[in-house]
Structure 1
Amino acid sequence: MNAPARLRMSRTALLPVLILVFCVVPLALASAWTLVLLLIPVAVAAWVLRVGVDIGDDGITARSLAGSRTVSWTELAGIRIDERNALWLVTTAGTEVRLPVVRTRDLPRLAALSGGRVDVPAPPAQ
C-alpha cells in the first residue's frame, strides 16, 4: 500500500499568522481575560497545518480543522465545480464533500495522483 499523497496549504501561509501573533500579544497582555486572544493565531495556525486532501489507495480524504471524511473510490460518482472554482466530491449516495485547498487549476494534479480514477474534463468547445 502506498502512502497517501497530501495536498495542503503552503506553509508560507504561516507568515501572516506570525504577524497576527505580534499584533495580538500586546492586546493579550493588557489584562488577564484578554489572554484568550492568543487562541486566535493558534487556531489559524492549526487550520493552515491541518486542512487539506489526502489521496490514497482507499479513496480521497477531505480534512477540516474539526475532522475528516473519506470517500472511497467505489463511492465516488464525480466531481462538481462550483461558481468559486471550489471542488466538491459527489458520492453515489448523492451527498457532496468539499475538497478544501484544491481548486480547478489542481484538477490535472488530482487526476494524476488518483491513478486515473478521476478524469479531467475536456475544455468546452468554442
Structure 2
Amino acid sequence: MTRFRLPAAVSVAAAVAFIGGLPIAAEGGPYPLVLLVPLMVGMWAWRAGTDADADGLHVRALLGSRDITWPQIDELRAEGPRRVVAALLDGTVVPLTAVRPTDLPRLAATANHS
C-alpha cells in the first residue's frame, strides 16, 4: 500500500494558530468561535490523504471518504503545480488529497501492480 499524507507542517501551523487564538477566545462572547478554524484545519490535516493499493484508491477528506477501483479510473493527471486528480470513466473528476504531481510515478507503479 502507498500512502500520501499532508505535510506535518500543516498540523503544526494549526496547533500554533489554536494556541495563538486562546487569548482572543478568552474574551468571551462570540470570540471562542475563532478557535474553530485552526481546530478544523488540524482535523483535516490529521484525517486527509490518499491510500493506493492493488484494489484502487481510498481518498479521505475532512468529512468524507471515497473508494475508487482501478477499472473506474480513466486517467490520473496533474492539474496545476500542486494538484492531482483521478478522471473517472463516468466523467467525474476526483481530487486526490495530498498527492502531488511528483507523486504520479509512485501512484502509477501501485496501479500497475494490480
Q: TM range, normalised to the smaller chain?
A: 0.7 to 0.9
Q: Could you list the runs of 5+ residues in structure 1 that have no partner in the other structure?
A: 118-126
Q: Give the paired residue count.
A: 114
Fraction of identical pairs, as percent: 30
Partner of residue 31, structure 2: 34
CA distance in 2, matches of 1:45, 1:85: 20
Change in Cα spacing, 1:69 to 1:17, as seen in structure 2 (3 Å) is same
Counterpart selection for 1:5 from 2, 5, 8: 2
Q: Could you list the runs of 5+ residues in structure 2 that have no partner in the other structure?
A: none
Counterpart selection for 1:109 from 65, 85, 106: 106
Partner of residue 75, structure 1: 72
Partner of residue 123, structure 1: none
**Cα pair 2:70 2:111 within 8 Å, conserved:** no
Change in Cα spacing, 1:90 to 1:44, as seen in structure 2 (3 Å) is same
Instruction: Give the TM-score taking structure 2 as reference length.
Output: 0.86
Which residue identity lines up with residue 61 of structure 2 in the other structure?
S
Query: How far is the alpha carbon of 1:5 from its aligned partner?
Result: 2.9
Alignment deviations for residues 104-125 of structure 1 (CA, whole Å, 9 cap, x no partner): 11112212333446xxxxxxxx
Could you say what the CA RMSD is over the residues aligned between the two structures, in angstroms?
1.8
Q: Which has the larger radius of gyration?
A: 1
Instruction: Give the TM-score taking structure 1 as reference length.
Output: 0.79
Query: How far is the alpha carbon of 1:85 from its aligned partner?
Result: 4.3
Report the structure, 1 or 2, having the larger helix content: 2
